[in-house]
Amino acid sequence: MAKQLGWGIITTGWIARKFATDLPQSRTGRLVAVAARQLGDAQRFAADFGGANAHGSYEALLADPAVEAVYIGTPHPWHAEWAIKAAAAGKHVLCEKPLTLRLADTERVIAAAKKNNVLLMEAFMYRFHPQTRKIAALVRDGAIGELRLIRASFNVLCPFNPESRMFKKSLGGGAILDLGCYPLSYARHMAGAVHGRDFAEPVKFHGSGRLHPQAGTDDFATAIAEFPGGIIGELSCGSTMLSDNGVQLHGTAGWIDVPNPFTPGLLGQAEKVILHRRSGATEEIAIPSPGVGLYAYEADAVAETLARGGREVPLATWADTLGNARLADAWLASVGLRYD
């Protein structure tokens, strides 16, 4: 059985607050420290979440002996730096997606985790929710026959602000890294589920997209991924248009509609997916998530892996993370975007 794990959180933004909110709902996690650039910000955050240790620098949190694992929720450009420093301090690392801005940096972070014998996981939290596990099982067990087509789309309509994290290049802005990584990861996961694996790599990949005329970062992008066995993935993401946030998995004997694939049970609510059969019949499958927020599942996955002596979480291995980074690089190159 996994033991209680002492977590430290680097930064105090929305995503950090969501992780801190969900952590007490996990079976294994407890918040012991938080760090911000300004001590007052960390103190206010700590007061909101039970009085954890508050640190006015990230270095101080990494020196805190009560911290066993670190959750990194900074903007993308600082992920690599603090993941490497956390590994060097002997802390296990759960880092928000994308793990880094580019494949070369992802390789450096993984090398640091190996060198220091710490767990490292890219935080695609949807992977661990019961909904995703149920869908992967349906695909693996042939509920829709042979999988042929994966349609996955994640779009958020954002008012344009050149200083916003979504648009500003120096903050890692752009739809592909912030949103497109989800359809990309989801398609790889389901293409792998066909063969009982956690992911599959496409044999062909072609991306396209638009650079925002003022920001210079991508605000809409699409991609086609061809996986072994003739499975096609149609992927899209965007930050300046209205579109769906859904996944549809089409097979030779039916298809599955997933209305909320990327943030299932975000607030502990139940979800549903619809299985359409070749006969025309439909089956609504309810997915409970009673009172457990989405981020609690990934915290437990980290603790359970450590309890087994592992350093790679099975549903989010380093090979999987490298595959995400490699394809993100290719997608960004196809739209002409390169980060400094």
- Please say whether the beta carbons of 140 and 194 come within 8 A: yes
Cα–Cα distance for residue pair 13/47, rounded to 1 Å: 15
Position 198, amino acid: D
The secondary element (H helix, E strand) that includes residue 284 is strand 282-287
Token pair listed for 110: 């993984």
- Please say whether the beta carbons of 170 and 326 come within 8 A: no
- Please say whether the beta carbons of 49 and 111 come within 8 A: no
Cα–Cα distance for residue pair 158/150, rounded to 1 Å: 26
Known catalytic residues are: 97
Give the angle subtended at the CA of 29 by the CAs of 28 and 35, to the nearest 5°.
165
